[in-house]
Amino acid sequence: MPKKDFYSIVIPVYNGSRTLRKTLESVRRQEDDDFEIVVVDDASTEELRPLIEEMGALYHRLPENSGPATARTAGVAAARGQIIVFTDSDVWLPDHLIGNLRKAFAETGAECVQGSFSKHCPHPNFFSQYKNLYNHYVINQLGDWINTTYTSLTAVQKGFFLKGNGFDRNIRAASVEDRTLGESLISAGGKIYLAKRLEVVHDKFLDAKGFYRSQFNRSRDLAKLMQRQKESKFLEKGKSFGTNTRAAMLRLPVVALTLVFLFLGLIYPPLWLLALISFAAYCWLTRNWISFL
């Protein structure tokens, strides 16, 4: 029988052989014995079990690829801990994490403690650095008490997780499915504390194609999520869902228009003026982010 404050670190993975070892190494460095590691293999085509068991983690495999929301939910079902710590297979956890989480839960009385993102990115290319720094900026604009979650590092009381609806498993892609946990916790009466000093390193490589694909998927799923929240009046409770999500959704089409006008300007140069106007609109939408840089 695990202790009352036993922790379960749940990691979903799909073909993550490039990054998973370093993630598990960061977990194994924790100076605490009262935790377990549960890795949920979302029907990967890569053979991950030997690595996972070598690192002392519990291995659980889904019969078919179902997306990170379903994988995390399966991890909770397999976990023995009273506190569930969600992270991803491309994240490096900070040292002394378990002790700092215990302290945060005790001092705040929160049902959920949310971590932050480090400025450090192990990949030097532009798109990886830009996305990582933007994530760091966004989460640090929030206050101490928030109504959203980013499962690069989210710790939640298991009993309270089960009380709510958990993750929206209808969102199969890795986009905004993690944020639906925050909605579920808040709707169930929970409190989410943002511990900005608990920073993780996101070992995420993005090239141009991967960057625009992830931004498109995130904007699409965020629009669906906001519509659902509007219907359920979640957004009308005096809360904003993280940051200015409407502005965030507008940025991607504005960037797309800028690129289209630049390309068409090669054929009809006056269209470069429209590209300039679109770029100015993008700068206005991201003015706070630009001032942060």
Q: Is 254 helix (H, G, I), strand (E, B) or coil?
A: helix
User: How distant is the alpha carbon of residue 291 from its chain centre?
Assistant: 24
**What was the pLDDT predicted at 242?**
47
Q: Is 112 helix (H, G, I), strand (E, B) or coil?
A: strand
**What was the pLDDT predicted at 240?**
44
Task: Please write down the HEC assignment for all residues of 142-179.
Answer: CCCEECCCCCCCEEEEHHHHHHCCCCCCCCCCCCCCCH
Which residues have C-beta within 8 Å of that of residue 129, sequence separation ≥ 6?
121, 123
User: With pLDDT > 90 as the criterion, what percentage of the chain qualifies?
Assistant: 58
Q: Reply yes or no on whether the pLDDT at 159 is more than 90.
A: yes
194-202 mean pLDDT: 97
Given pLDDT bands bounded at 50, 70 and 90, which one contains residue 164? confident
If we measure between CA atoms, which residue out of 288, 293, 290 comes closest to residue 141?
288
**What was the pLDDT predicted at 3?**
61
User: With pLDDT > 70 as the criterion, what percentage of the chain qualifies?
Assistant: 86
Given pLDDT bands bounded at 50, 70 and 90, which one contains residue 247? low
Which residues have C-beta within 8 Å of that of residue 152, sequence separation ≥ 6?
87, 88, 91, 115, 117, 200, 202
Q: Reply yes or no on whether the pLDDT at 238 is more than 50.
A: no
* Contacts within 8 Å (CB) and 24+ apart, 163-169: 163/188, 164/188, 164/190, 166/73, 166/76, 167/69, 167/70, 167/72, 167/73, 168/69, 168/225, 169/66, 169/67, 169/69, 169/70, 169/73
The string of pLDDT tens digits covering residues 47-100 is: 999 999 999 999 999 999 999 999 999 999 999 999 999 999 999 999 999 999
The string of pLDDT tens digits covering residues 100-153 is: 999 999 999 999 999 999 999 999 999 999 889 989 988 988 999 998 899 999
Give the highest mean pLDDT range of 89-93, 215-219, 251-255.
Answer: 89-93
**Residues, the chain:** 293
Q: Reply yes or no on whether the pLDDT at 157 is more than 80.
A: yes
pTM: 0.84
The string of pLDDT tens digits covering residues 28-49 is: 999 888 999 999 999 999 999 9
**What was the pLDDT predicted at 2?**
59
Given pLDDT bands bounded at 50, 70 and 90, which one contains residue 245? low
State both tokens at 94: 């900070």
Return the minimum-mean-pLDDT range out of 143-157, 162-176, 178-192, 217-231: 217-231
